[in-house]
């Protein structure tokens, strides 16, 4: 923030995480919380973008996806997953906006689903076999497993998945669907 202020910038957009608002703090969110606190103290105009969950998280397991499975210890937690392309579009729109808004924008997908349903819908959209494993991937380090379990426990504890209209309000169009992500992004990555 200091470098942005020194350079004469007046506006930044912080891509944060739903987890930054979770208490007790989800480990993966600690850096987001620290940066958010610094923004509050800065002279910059700054919207915070907090996506509920990113569909693109699936891509971190692309080798497993190629073998027909994804791992997340999510249980029956519901999430409203956002395509990173929508997140980027909102970030650009907010960066270029004339307003001096400084607040939190919660970004969600168009519906609230379980990770098992996301896997089913991606499977159909990308025309690949894809099954969901309700557990941590064997290669994940212990600290990451603990963080993922805490994150999905927070999703379950809230008892619902939020549905906002932020993407529609900012972009004038609905968020991309799970099916669009599967047919456009996942298939392209699988072909590469």
Q: What is the pLDDT of residues 161-190, one digit of tens each?
A: 678 999 999 999 999 999 999 999 999 999
- Cβ atoms of 49 and 93 within 8 Å: the answer is no
Q: What is the pLDDT of residues 41-75, one digit of tens each?
A: 888 888 899 998 899 999 999 999 999 999 999 98
Q: How far is CA 87 from CA 5, 13, 14, 49, 132, in A?
A: 24, 11, 11, 8, 25
Question: What pLDDT does residue 152 have?
Answer: 85
Question: What pLDDT does residue 160 have?
Answer: 62
For the entire predicted model, the pTM comes to 0.89
Q: Give dist(CA 39, CA 49) in Å, integer.
A: 13
User: Domain 2-186 adopts which CATH fold?
Assistant: Rossmann fold (3.40.50)
Question: What pLDDT does residue 25 have?
Answer: 67
Percent of the chain with pLDDT over 90: 54
């Amino acid at each position: 923030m200091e470098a942005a202020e020194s350079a004469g910038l007046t506006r930044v957009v912080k891509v944060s995480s739903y987890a930054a608002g979770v208490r007790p703090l989800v480990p993966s969110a600690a850096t987001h919380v620290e940066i958010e606190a610094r923004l509050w103290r800065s002279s910059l105009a700054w919207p915070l973008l907090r996506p509920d969950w990113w569909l693109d998280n699936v891509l971190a397991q692309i080798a497993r996806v190629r073998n027909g499975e994804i791992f997340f210890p999510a249980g029956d937690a519901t999430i409203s997953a956002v395509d990173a392309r929508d997140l980027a579009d909102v970030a650009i729109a907010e960066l270029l906006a004339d307003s001096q808004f400084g607040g939190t924008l919660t970004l969600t997908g168009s519906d609230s689903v379980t990770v098992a349903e996301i896997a089913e819908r991606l499977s159909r959209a990308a025309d690949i076999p894809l099954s969901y494993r309700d557990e941590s991937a064997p290669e994940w380090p212990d600290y990451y497993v603990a963080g993922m379990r805490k994150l999905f426990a927070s999703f379950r504890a809230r008892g619902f998945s939020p549905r906002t209209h932020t993407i529609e309000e900012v972009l004038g169009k609905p968020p991309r669907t799970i099916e669009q992500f599967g047919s456009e992004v996942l298939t392209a990555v699988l072909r590469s």
